[in-house]
Chain A
Amino acid sequence: MTIALALEQLLNGIQLGVMLFLMAAGLTLIFGVMGLINLAHGSLYMVGAFACAAVAAWTGSFWIGLVASLVAAAAAGAIVELAVIRRLYDRDHLDQVLATFALILMFSEGTRWLFGSFPLYLDIPPLLQGAVALPGGTEYPVYRLAIIAAGALVAFGLYMLISRTRLGMRIRAGESDREMIGALGVDIRTLYTVVFALGAALAGFAGAMVGAIQSVQVGMGEPVLILAFVVIVIGGIGSIKGALLGALLVGVTDTMGRFLLPKLMVLFVPPAQAGAIGGAVASMLIYIVMAIILAVKPRGLFPPAHA
């Protein structure tokens, strides 16, 4: 094992973390403002990927597809908020879990209804094809670097949006005192729809970006969704900063675990089984990390002050 390989793996971990952040940011934003737990967030991720793939196939341009994914996911989010989610804000988490669980079933089967049963094709735009040389002599895919950049941009954009704009001010107000901002004359219903659509658009954007290097298929959102939950629980639910750091922690832990644990296991068990057992432990690693963090800090690493 060389230093270069270890560095490359670290980069891979950061890149996985950034992908998870794109997903987790919307989830944690929606929870922070509306106190809503949204299991169907993974479905919005899927909507983004399918919209991007379909539009890219139709127009021949990934970039138009990317815009379409934002529009489609935001629209789907807004419709879902108006039709369903709106009725759930003053319910307990149990009802929210069940309603959004039902939405997953409907989204998955509905998508299959529209797009058929086979995975769709979505390729990386020509501009971002191929690999570049890294210091140390290895090559790294341009697209993965682009994902890291996009994640950093989204993080910065969200920070600016929340700390510098009127919408952000309302979001912060909504996080700290829900009744109060209604009393101040802010149209809270519209605000909630806008925030939900924004969270959905983030998920859709993540779906489109990631869909280009993964499989655009029904059910693609579910594994990511659970990882995103782990991320926001570690980071502190409702905290964007927590989501970013939680995502990086999960990404790096998972990647390094998959890379190092099988090698470590060789010291304890016969080599023939080391790969399988190391893989088994690696697949549980992030949950173990999460359990340890929550045992010490039950509200995550960066709990929002008001909660």
Chain B
Amino acid sequence: MILTRENLINLILAAALLAIPLIANAAGQPFYITLATRVAILALAATGLNLALGVGGLVSFGHAAFFGIGGYVAGILASHSFSGEPVLFGLSGTNQMWIIWLVAMALAGVVGLAIGAISLRTSGVYFIMITLAFAQMVYYFAVSWPAYGGEDGLSILVRNQFPGVMTMVPMNFFLICYVILLVGIALFAVIRASRFGAALQAARQNEVRVATVGIQPYRIRLTGFVLSAMITGLAGALFADLNRFVSPSMLSWHMSGELIVLIILGGTGRLFGPLAGAALYVAFEYALGGITERWQFFLGLILLLVVLFARGGLVGLLAGKAKHG
């Protein structure tokens, strides 16, 4: 890895996210660990979306569906593990995080395949709207389906387990999320640099050229969309464990909007853009919420100014123009 300016910024970001909870822990301010965990999880969710949106140019306005599905997998499996009743076909629930993660990714992938298969037949604004509509469909299903709490959501009474780690200790859970985030970002980098990633980017830039060299853009995009859904689904499972709670609001269109916001705040298509964006967003939300009741107005104003005047987001501002298109 060459130490370009962007790489340096990435290193600093990764180090800062690790340092803040360590300092907070030493200073006896555990809340900042929770806040940093939130940043890590939202960054992971946005990294998933970044694969579709930043690399593939697929503006999905429905990724909250995958985020929420991941969350519900964690909630539902945990509640069945607690009650001892089987989930489906005699399969029992579990409170083991790694099984939950696998199931969350698998289910988000399957739903992503179904949504993607229909949505990717369209493009542009149609794609934005249809992904939004599919997410709404999942949202209304979760609100009105009688099992698993509906609008009230589902509590996870005890945070799920990971072998050899006390997950209830905030620092431990942060480290789990942090490691997964780094793995997610690394995976993103590998995919983007691979032949598949090149094809995905090419399909965004020039569909005709990709088709003429014998690659079907539809399949490439669908694969990218499913991978993206799986990463976001994993983040959803972690988010449910962070809050020890999952509810339909994880599936709402505001959540989809927030995920897009994170990417643009940080820098679209940038490797560490989602992390930078998540850190900024959580910091704004936290700081403004403490100052004024009207914080949403000022949050909107800041977002607007970023779109209008700070194109390329935080990473773009600090590191200059992106190498990758």
Residue positions of A touching B, CB distance < 8 A: 31, 37, 84, 87-88, 92-95, 97-99, 101-106, 108-110, 113, 226, 229-230, 232-233, 237, 273, 276-277, 279-280, 283-284, 287-288, 290-291, 294-295, 298-300
CB of B178 within 8 Å of the partner chain: no
Docked-complex contact A294 and B122, CB < 8 angstroms: yes
CB of B26 within 8 Å of the partner chain: no
Tally B residues with Cβ within 8 Å of A: 42
Docked-complex contact B126 and A97, CB < 8 angstroms: no
* Residues A113 and B297 in contact in the complex (CB < 8 Å), given A226-B253, A279-B144, A284-B141: yes
- B100-144 contact mask (Cβ, 8 Å, vs A): 1 or 0: 000000000000000000110110111011101110110011011
Q: With A and B bound together, what is the CA distance between A283 and B88 in angstroms?
A: 25
Report the 3 A-B pairs with minimum CB-CB distance, sorted nearest first. A105-B300, A109-B297, A102-B303
CB distance from A89 to the nearest CB of B (A): 13
- B247-259 contact mask (Cβ, 8 Å, vs A): 1 or 0: 0000001000100
Docked-complex contact A105 and B297, CB < 8 angstroms: yes
Cβ contacts under 8 Å, B61 to chain A: 97
B67-123 contacts to A (CB < 8 Å): 118-119, 121-122
Docked-complex contact A94 and B133, CB < 8 angstroms: no
Residue positions of B touching A, CB distance < 8 A: 53, 59, 61, 118-119, 121-122, 124-126, 128-130, 132-134, 136-137, 140-141, 143-146, 253, 257, 260-261, 264, 268, 294, 296-297, 299-304, 307-308, 311
Cβ contacts under 8 Å, B134 to chain A: 287, 291
Q: With A and B bound together, what is the CA distance between A102 and B125 in angstroms?
A: 18
Nearest neighbor of B302 in chain A, beta-carbon distance: A102
Please report the number of residue pairs spanning A and B whose Cβ atoms sit closer than 8 angstroms.
127
Cβ contacts under 8 Å, A98 to chain B: 260-261, 264, 303, 307
CB distance from B250 to the nearest CB of A (A): 17
Cβ contacts under 8 Å, B302 to chain A: 102
* Residues A109 and B128 in contact in the complex (CB < 8 Å), given A94-B264, A95-B264, A280-B145: no
Cβ contacts under 8 Å, A299 to chain B: 122, 126
CB distance from B201 to the nearest CB of A (A): 15
Docked-complex contact B146 and A276, CB < 8 angstroms: yes
Dominant secondary structure of chain B at its interface with chain A: helix
Cβ contacts under 8 Å, A229 to chain B: 129, 132-133
Q: With A and B bound together, what is the CA distance between A299 and B297 in angstroms?
A: 36
For A233, give its contact among B126, B137, B268, B300 (CB under 8 Å): B126
* Residues A93 and B128 in contact in the complex (CB < 8 Å), given A102-B300, A287-B137, A290-B133: yes
Mind listing 24 A-B residue pairs with CB under 8 Å? Answer: A92-B59, A93-B128, A94-B53, A94-B59, A97-B59, A101-B257, A105-B297, A105-B300, A106-B304, A109-B294, A226-B132, A226-B136, A229-B129, A230-B129, A233-B126, A233-B129, A280-B140, A280-B144, A280-B145, A284-B137, A287-B134, A287-B137, A291-B134, A298-B121
Residue with the greatest number of chain B CB neighbours at <10 A, chosen from A84, A95, A276, A294? A294
Cβ contacts under 8 Å, A87 to chain B: 308
For B128, give its contact among A97, A105, A110, A284 (CB under 8 Å): A97
Task: With A94-B264, A104-B300 given, name 20 new contacts (CB 8 A).
Answer: A31-B125, A37-B125, A87-B308, A97-B128, A98-B303, A99-B303, A101-B257, A101-B260, A230-B133, A233-B130, A233-B133, A237-B126, A276-B144, A280-B141, A283-B143, A287-B137, A294-B130, A295-B121, A298-B126, A299-B122
For A102, give its contact among B119, B126, B304 (CB under 8 Å): B304
Q: With A and B bound together, what is the CA distance between A284 and B125 in angstroms?
A: 21
For B297, give its contact among A106, A277, A291 (CB under 8 Å): A106
Cβ contacts under 8 Å, A295 to chain B: 118, 121
Cβ contacts under 8 Å, B145 to chain A: 277, 280
Docked-complex contact A94 and B268, CB < 8 angstroms: yes
Q: With A and B bound together, what is the CA distance between A84 and B306 in angstroms?
A: 12
Nearest neighbor of A101 in chain B, beta-carbon distance: B257
Cβ contacts under 8 Å, A102 to chain B: 299-304, 307
Q: With A and B bound together, what is the CA distance between A113 and B253 in angstroms?
A: 24
Nearest neighbor of B304 in chain A, beta-carbon distance: A102
